[in-house]
Amino acid sequence: MTNLIPIFIYLIASLLITRWWSARQSKKSGGLYQDKAKRFFIGGRFLNGPLLALTLVATYTSASSFIGGPGAAYKIGLGWVWLALIQVPVAMLTLGVLGPKLLAQRKAEHTTLIEWLDARYQNSWLTKLALVSLVVGFIAMISVQFIGGARLFSGVSGISYELGLGLFVITVLAYTLTGGFRAVVITDAFQGILMIIGVLVIFITLLSQGGLTALMTNVSAQSPTLLSPQGNSGQLGWPMMLSFWMLICFGTLGLPHTVVRLLAVKDTNALKRGMIWGTIISFLMTLIPHLSGVLGRALYPDLTVPDEIMPRLITGLFDPFWAGVLLAAPIAAVMSSVDSMLLQSAVSLVRDGVVRCYPSLTANAQVSLTRVAMVLVTLIATYCAIEPPSMIVWLNLAAFGALQAVFLWPILAGLYWPQIAGNAALAAMLSGLVSYLLLLWFKPAMFGVHPIVPALFISAMCMLVVHRLLQTPAITKA
């Protein structure tokens, strides 16, 4: 328990600093919305380049990046590190492809992705399906973050997993209930800086245990295939490469919690600077934790739960006080993802669900209901996290894929294909989700390809077919 004291001091200090910073920035900003609910939900056009890069990468970097990813690298070897680096261009891709188009629509002042989809397609069934998919998918991903946070607390301090889960959930609620979108983004930026410092300290200390060559030699002595690009069991062939390129790179264009940040970008210059800074930060935050997972095997070769490698490195390389201080880095990674998803799922429930049924709902009531929704989503996600799997990376990727199967093509087509209509986008959503879930559940032989690849292909084909069928009568009539 002793090494939890520094982390709680950090969490309280971080909460006070980011809320003070957020309030100060709000007073200085002249571009805030007059509507109190909109101020809470989106915070105004305030994201400059560095802030955009930090919040984007911090949100994307999660328990999977700090716990699951290093755990997979520990088990599979150096090949998993190369595979994980596929996600480095995510900031460049997201900001470069989606940013200019969404920035051009700034006058509409959309506060959620679903609000934008509704305005673009004007299809009530599409809106309902998007809302349900977003909330369910986020609850699954929030559960993964809770598992990661609980494992960090219990791994570093020795407390039970259940107590660690309880402590982490209370911390998350304290952060998300006390601020809106602007406060969450500033928290992300603060924690993003801390993450970079933390992983660098852990990695440099790890290298001091004999140097890179000696650690690699030790890992190779355990099994030479741990240094193979194909992984220690040859499982990282081209099907896995294709699947990961789709899942953690191209497919991220369809992640709602990433896209919503583009609704708050300040200007074109912020987009350009965000692309550069985001790529640099993403490279550091991907390479160092994953490489630490492989090298950590030289010091701890017999872990039965691979996800324990990062907590074990922290407790093994540092005394209890500094272990507690460094725990702030992975906790920040988990917090920065879960607060964004929790806020957006609650906002969508209220803004895209309740407000549609009761349009006269006041701004104060919307904000209050959003806080209630946060608590409800947290309780459900906590219940799902009580009995965790041994490796969370697969659970996280499954939820990732479900969101991409629903949102990727409707978002891209909505921005770049003016002729596409709501029914075609709905067909893409429905076929993508159903095919993905069926393939994930029944696991047919697909030569090692992840279900997201055929699901996105089916989704695109269904969208094109429905578009063609709806377009034909109009052309004939003309």
pLDDT in tens, 40-82: 666 566 677 787 887 777 777 666 677 778 888 999 999 999 8
**Per-residue pLDDT at 367:** 84
pLDDT winner (highest mean) among 66-70, 187-191, 209-213, 260-264: 209-213
| Encoded tokens for 289 | 């934790």
Cβ atoms of 289 and 66 closer than 8 Å: yes
Cβ atoms of 409 and 378 closer than 8 Å: no
- Which residue range(s) make up the domain with 272? 3-19+36-392
**Per-residue pLDDT at 445:** 75
Q: Return the SS3 of 112.
A: coil
Evaluate whether residue 425 is within a structural domain: no
Q: Crossing angle of helices 181-207/161-177, nearest 10°?
A: 140
Evaluate whether residue 40 is within a structural domain: yes
Evaluate whether residue 291 is within a structural domain: yes
In the structure, what pLDDT confidence band is assigned to residue 475 with cuts at 50, 70 and 90?
very low
The residue assigned the tokens 């009531």 is: 365
Name residue 265's beta-bridge partners: 47
Q: Return the SS3 of 201.
A: helix
Residue 333 to residue 338: CA distance in whole angstroms: 9
> Worst-scoring range by mean pLDDT, 68-82, 175-189, 436-450?
175-189
DSSP readout, 369-414?
A: HHHHHHHHHHHHHHHHTSS--S--HHHHHHHHHHHHHHHHHHHHHH
For the stretch 209-245, what's the b/e string if a residue is b when 16 or more beta carbons lie within 10 angstroms of its beta carbon? beeeeebbebbbeeeebbebeebbeeebeeebeebbe
Nearest CA to 231 out of 348, 75, 57 is that of 75
Residue 229 to residue 410: CA distance in whole angstroms: 35
Evaluate whether residue 473 is within a structural domain: no
Backbone angles phi, psi at 236, to 5 degrees: -105, 55
Residue 139 to residue 341: CA distance in whole angstroms: 8
Determine if the pTM surpasses 0.85.
Answer: no
For the stretch 258-291, what's the b/e string if a residue is b when 16 or more beta carbons lie within 10 angstroms of its beta carbon? bbbbbbbbbeeebbebbbebbbebbbbbbbbbbb
Region 314-327 average pLDDT: 80
Residue 426 to residue 437: CA distance in whole angstroms: 17
pLDDT in tens, 268-315: 888 888 888 889 888 988 899 999 999 999 999 988 888 888 888 988
Instruction: Find the CATH number of the domain harbouring 354.
Output: 1.20.1730.10
Q: Which residues have CB under 8 Å from 151's CB, separation 6+?
A: 67, 161, 164, 307, 308, 311, 388
Residue 55 to residue 463: CA distance in whole angstroms: 32
Structural domain count of the chain: 1
The span from the first CA to the last CA of the chain, in angstroms, equals 75
Evaluate whether residue 415 is within a structural domain: no
In the structure, what pLDDT confidence band is assigned to residue 453 with cuts at 50, 70 and 90?
very high
